Structure 1
Amino acid sequence: MNNLSRESRKSRKRPLSSGMKMGIIALLLMLTAINYGSYSNAVGMSTTTTSLSTSTHSQGYRGNIEYTATVTSTEGVPTGTITYMNGSEELGTAFLSDATLNTATATITINFLTAGAHTITAVYSGDSNYMGSTSGEITQEVVQAPSTVSVSSSANPSVYGDYITFTATVSSLNEHVPTGEVAFKNGDTTLQTLSLSDVGVVTFENIENIENNLLASSGFHNITAEYLGDTNYLGSTSSVLSQYVAVDVDMSINRSSPTVVGESISFYIVVNEVSATTNTISIMDGDQIIVQDLAIVNNDYVLWTAPNLPAGLYSFTAVFSGEDTNFETATSAPIQLLILDPASLDVNQDNRVEINDIVRIIVNGTLAQKDFNHDGAFNQADIHSMLTYISTVNQIDYEY
């Protein structure tokens, strides 16, 4: 047993054969080649280096950016593809071309990087003769793109109490649609903030029950739409839309023209939902006050019956006072009414003048129509038609 053990130990100490030594050396050389990127030489492949350039290091969102990758080898011209990467995200691929000596290039143009900083690299895939390689990193800055916003109104001027719909449209110079929110403002006061639709449009209906209601006052309002921006687009503000909100005053009377002295004349004035109790209504004849400071009933209407008005041609208007600071003065459309005095008409009971009678109309002591030879039925309506051109009449006498 001892002899066998000694023989075994002797066999372990035998020197390596020359073949084994060569094998070990080859293995070491192979490992060294792999570690230093030159293993390809050992198997007949050439090493490569890849570089990357950009057309601009800073570009606006959706602006074109061109990347060019250049692959260089120690000998010959590499072929294959370049893959462009944004970190771990693949941006696209391009084939190598434009070969000169021992280099080839590939170019790609993109415009879809989001706003912010991006790390871009180019990866050469290699081919049957050339090893692959990766470029160094390029830091690409993409800045937010500008935007524009406009605002329009469904009714301008509008009437106090009516709904108004404002529409904001947001667009960009690159024809892509921004996202995010739009704030509708009345001066410095935000009326409401709403999200844009997929086509960059948002509508806002200014109704009575929202906070900071535009319709809480009449007059001019400076309306703007402010786009608040998003990740890729800068915010913007529209030009000012001057929205005029009018108080609507509508007046009617219970008599048609002409009428006669002694008949009651009632005025019905409607004011559209004015909530301020300090506002009143005055009834005017031209620039003369007939009655003033009539209270508005239920923030809605005034009903007033005039006392016995003298004969004359009247031009009635109803004037809304606008005493409350939220409202402006408003005036109704005029109503003309001719009031005749039967005592001054010496005609038949049916107020008719016979054929060939001569009619004279005296206005404020001045002869307005002389020797009118009437050739048919003549009544109060005919007299009214002759007086329509007279704007101020306080007393009318009739002679024939």
Structure 2
Amino acid sequence: MTFTATVTPVAPGAGVPTGTVTFIIGGSGGGTFVQPLVGGTATLSLSTLGVGTNAVVVLYGGDTNFLPSTGTDTHTVNPGPAATTTTLTSSANPSVFGQPVTYTATVTPNPPATGTPTGSVTFVISGTGGGTFTQPLTGGTATFITSGPGTGSHTVTATYNGDTNFATSTSAPLTQVVNPANSRTTISSNPNPSEAGTPVDFVAFVEAIPPGDGTPTGTVTFTLTNGVDTLTASPTVDTNGFAFL
């Protein structure tokens, strides 16, 4: 909230008072604050006042041309948490499988409330590899980083869980699209060259291309041909990304 003190001369005096104004505000979160007088007006913004009625005393200190003066008022802070708004953003959308994505939730009080909400935010991600994850709120912001969701569309929401002064709120749903990651396959053989009738080992290695990550699964199809005869085989990729023939 903003307190405004206006200092005006009493007739027949005229002109614009200068100097400073001292705000004395009682109650929880109050105190004594000295503000400059500009164009006859001084302002003080506070977001620390607790619930209840606060007595306000304003002291104008005077200047060369104007005598000191005093004003009084009261200010009431109603009980109950102030309403908030939670917004959610994604660092990469669409993303690819295995790519780390940072979700950021920003919680702001709805006017006229001011201040910085505290507590935690719960992120909910639908679909394979999703889940429910609660992160602390720092400076009004909470982040969550994950590379777990599978390919497809996922609905993501962020819910602020509230604190003593601020009410809960949930973001609008965000649709995160996860596309398949690009892969790279390399092959080697041993021995090479080889003699007729000698066993030859062929090894294929399959890996994700950044920003994708993870170990591909499934099979690799080897095709061997001399222009006349063709041999194909499809061994399974192991847990390290290798397939052997």
Normalised to the residue count of structure 2, the TM-score between the two structures is 0.58
| CA drift at 1:190 | 5.4
Could you tell me which amino acid in structure 2 is paired with residue 162 of structure 1? T
Contact 1:117 1:141 in 2 (8 A): yes
Asked if 1:81 corresponds to 2:115, the answer is no
Q: How does 1:11-22 map to 2 (within 5 A)?
A: none
Equivalent residue runs for 1:3-14 within 5 Å: none
2:166 counterpart SS class: coil
**Measured at CA, do residues 159 and 123 of structure 1 come closer, stay the same or move farther in structure 2, by a change above 3 Å?**
same
Q: Does structure 1 residue 65 correspond to structure 2 residue 104?
A: no
Q: How does 1:270-309 map to 2 (within 5 A)?
A: none
How many angstroms does 1:196 deviate by? 0.7
Residue 197 in structure 1 maps to residue 238 in structure 2: yes
**2:167 is matched by which residue type in structure 1?**
M
Which range is displaced more, 76-85 or 117-126?
76-85
Contact 1:183/1:190 (8 A) holds in 2: no
Residue 351 of structure 1 corresponds to none
* Matching residue within 205, 214, 222 for 1:184: 222
Unaligned segments of structure 1, at least 5 residues: 1-40, 99-103, 205-400
- From 204, 209, 233, the equivalent of 1:173 is 209
What's the RMSD between the two structures over aligned residues?
Answer: 2.4
Matched position secondary structure for 2:221: strand
What is the deviation of 1:197? 0.7
Cα distance between partner residues in 1 of 2:124 and 2:82: 24
The verdict on how the C-alpha distance between 1:190 and 1:42 changes in structure 2, with shifts beyond 3 A counting, is: farther
Q: Secondary structure at the match of 2:99?
A: coil
Paired position in structure 2 for 1:95:
136
Q: Give the Å deviation of 1:43.
A: 6.0
Q: 1:193: how far off?
A: 0.7
Evaluate the alpha carbon distance shift between residue 159 and residue 190 of structure 1 in structure 2; reply closer, same or farther with a 3 A threshold.
closer
1:159 maps to 2:191: no
Q: Distance in 1 between matches of 2:126 and 2:198?
A: 56
1:194 counterpart SS class? coil
Question: How far did residue 93 of structure 1 move?
Answer: 2.8
> Following TM superposition, by how much is the alpha carbon of 1:143 offset from its aligned partner in structure 2, in angstroms?
1.3
CA contact under 8 A between 1:122 and 1:135: conserved in structure 2?
A: yes
**Higher relative helix content:** 1
Task: Note if contact 1:51-1:136 (Cα within 8 Å) is conserved in structure 2.
Answer: yes
Residue of structure 2 equivalent to 1:315: none
Partner of 2:21: none
How is 1:17-56 mapped onto 2 (pairs within 5 angstroms)? Answer: 44-56=80-92
The alignment status of 1:123 with 2:164, answered yes or no, reads no
Scaled by the length of structure 1, what TM-score is found? 0.37
After superposition, the C-alpha distances for 1:358-392 in whole angstroms (9 at most, x for unaligned) are xxxxxxxxxxxxxxxxxxxxxxxxxxxxxxxxxxx
Higher relative contact order (CA 8 A, sep 6+): 2
In structure 2, C-alpha distance between the alignment counterparts of 1:131 and 1:146, rounded to whole Å:
44
Size of the aligned set, in residue pairs, is 159
Identity %: 35
- Structure 2 residue identity aligned to 1:145: A
- 2:186 alignment counterpart: 150
Does the 8 A contact of 1:87 with 1:121 survive in 2?
no
**3-state SS of the aligned residue for 1:151?**
strand
Q: CA deviation at 1:116?
A: 1.4
Deviation at 1:79, TM superposition (A): 0.9
